[in-house]
Amino acid sequence: MRSLSVAAVSAFALFASGPASAAGEVRCLDDAMLVFDASGSMAGTDMNAVRPHIAKVREALASVLPAVTPRRHLGLMVYGPGPRAKCSNIDLRLKPGPNSAETIMGEVNSVVPAGETPLTAAVRGAAEELKFREKPAVVVLLTDGEETCGGDPCKLARQLKAEASALTIHVIQFKISGSTWLQSGTGSACMAAETGGVSLTAGTKDELIEALQKTLTCPLFSERAARLR
> CB–CB of 138/30 below 8 Å?
yes
136: three-class secondary structure by DSSP? strand
Q: What region, left, alpha or beta, does residue 18 occupy, with left being phi > 0 and alpha being psi -120 to 50 degrees? A: left
Residue 178 confidence (pLDDT): 47
DSSP letter, residue 45 = B
Residue 192 confidence (pLDDT): 95
Q: Name the residue range of residue 136's domain.
A: 30-217
Residue 49 confidence (pLDDT): 55
Residue 7 confidence (pLDDT): 37
* Overall pTM surpassing 0.75 (yes/no): yes
- Provide the CATH number for the domain around residue 36: 3.40.50.410
Residue whose C-alpha is closest to residue 206's, from 49, 57, 44: 57
Q: Answer yes or no: is 8 within a domain.
A: no
Residue 29 confidence (pLDDT): 84
226: three-class secondary structure by DSSP? helix
Rounded Cα gap, residues 124 and 3, in angstroms: 47
Q: Answer yes or no: is 226 within a domain.
A: no
Count the domains in the chain: 1
Residue whose C-alpha is closest to residue 123's, from 176, 62, 195, 209: 195
Q: Answer yes or no: is 13 within a domain.
A: no
In sequence order, which residues have a C-beta less than 8 Å from that of residue 72 and are 6 or more positions away?
28, 29, 30, 31, 32, 216
How many whole angstroms from its chain centre is CA 84? 25
Q: Answer yes or no: is 165 within a domain.
A: yes
Q: Answer yes or no: is 19 within a domain.
A: no
Residue 50 confidence (pLDDT): 63
> CB–CB of 145/37 below 8 Å?
yes
Q: Answer yes or no: is 228 within a domain.
A: no
Q: Answer yes or no: is 229 within a domain.
A: no
- Over the chain (229 residues), what is each successive 10-residue block's mean pLDDT? 38 38 58 94 64 87 95 95 80 96 96 91 97 96 92 96 94 68 64 94 92 84 41
76: three-class secondary structure by DSSP? strand
- Put the strands of the sheet holding 90-97 in their side by side order: 90-97, 74-79, 32-37, 136-143, 166-174, 199-202
162 to 46, 132, 139, 147, 152: CA distances (angstroms):
39, 11, 16, 22, 16
> CB–CB of 167/139 below 8 Å?
yes
Q: Answer yes or no: is 10 within a domain.
A: no
